[in-house]
Amino acid sequence: AQTVTQSQPEMSVQEAETVTLSCTYDTSESDYYLFWYKQPPSRQMILVIRQEAYKQQNATENRFSVNFQKAAKSFSLKISDSQLGDAAMYFCAYRSSASNYQLIWGAGTKLIIKP
Amino acid sequence: ETGVTQSPTHLIKTRGQQVTLRCSSQSGHNTVSWYQQALGQGPQFIFQYYREEENGRGNFPPRFSGLQFPNYSSELNVNALELDDSALYLCASSRDRGVNQPQHFGDGTRLSIL
């Protein structure tokens, strides 16, 4: 069975600095997608960035980028120039046809931004 | 473009009761997934509906059931409520059921069981 692990329950960063959130996963599949979602106190899950496993190039969305290491089954999220609005729970998630199309989630990392 | 909407926002029930949660999918989306998120945890997949048929199910007992309507809105029904059912219930819709389709989430329904 596929699993997703986020080993950092909480991270803090100074405003305008860079922070990296870690995620590892376990799967025997070769074709899958990885996602980072953000959940602010408003509760809505917001898609931050996604990575297709067959693409070697790391995905980037403005200040957000990933470091995808397929062989190591690692998928970390880097947030540059951190802003107060980035404070939220961040969830790493996995999806494949073998996982019955469901998103399989990590336990989340709480990101605190210090002004 | 209207996003995913869920109702009600918050609900309080007692053990043994039944509850129905509702979700309106985003315009143009034919797939709806339901997740249960206990406090301080990541979401757990309950089931997915694609074009009115259940398309996949997680490890939830049969007292968790659902429906999808011709307009692709959906309901989650839970019978014989237990204290452990207290959680945030998230609905997500997507344009199709494909693995590459991003899921768009609603604000969730907070269910409290007394």
Structure confidence at residue A68 (pLDDT): 96
Residue B43 in contact with partner chain A when CB distance is under 8 A? yes
Residue A112 in contact with partner chain B when CB distance is under 8 A? no
**Positions of E strands within chain B:** 5-7, 10-13, 19-24, 31-37, 44-50, 53-57, 64-68, 74-78, 87-94, 104-105, 109-113
Structure confidence at residue B99 (pLDDT): 81
Any residues with CB less than 8 A from the CB of B30 and at least 6 apart, and which? B50, B51, B72, B95, B96, B97
The whole-number average pLDDT for the span A24-38 is: 93
pLDDT band, residue B7 (cuts 50/70/90): very high
Residues B102, A95: C-beta atoms closer than 8 Å: no
The whole-number average pLDDT for the span A30-57 is: 92
Mean model confidence pLDDT for chain B: 94
Structure confidence at residue A26 (pLDDT): 95
The whole-number average pLDDT for the span B82-90 is: 97
Name which of A43, A91, A103 is nearest B103 (Cβ-Cβ).
Answer: A103
Name which of B33, B100, B106 is nearest A102 (Cβ-Cβ).
Answer: B33
Name which of B88, B97, B110 is nearest A101 (Cβ-Cβ).
Answer: B97
Structure confidence at residue A81 (pLDDT): 97
Beta carbons of A112 and A64 less than 8 angstroms apart = no
Structure confidence at residue A43 (pLDDT): 82
Any residues with CB less than 8 A from the CB of A41 and at least 6 apart, and which? A88
Structure confidence at residue B1 (pLDDT): 59
Any residues with CB less than 8 A from the CB of B24 and at least 6 apart, and which? B2, B4, B5, B6, B73
In which region does residue A73 sit, left (phi positive, over 0), alpha (psi from -120 to 50) or beta (all else)?
Answer: left
**In this model, does residue A80 exceed pLDDT 70?**
yes
A62-100 exposure pattern, b = at least 16 Cβ within 10 A, e = fewer: eebbbebeeeebebbbbbeebeeebbbbbbbbbbbeebe
**In this model, does residue B44 exceed pLDDT 70?**
yes
Residue B107 in contact with partner chain A when CB distance is under 8 A? yes
Structure confidence at residue B64 (pLDDT): 98
Residues A107, B105: C-beta atoms closer than 8 Å: no
The whole-number average pLDDT for the span B72-77 is: 97
**In this model, does residue A10 exceed pLDDT 90?**
yes
Mean model confidence pLDDT for chain A: 94
The whole-number average pLDDT for the span A24-41 is: 93
More confident residue, A98 or B30: B30
Rounded to 5 degrees, what are φ and ψ at A98?
A: -70, -20
The number of residues making up chain B comes to 114
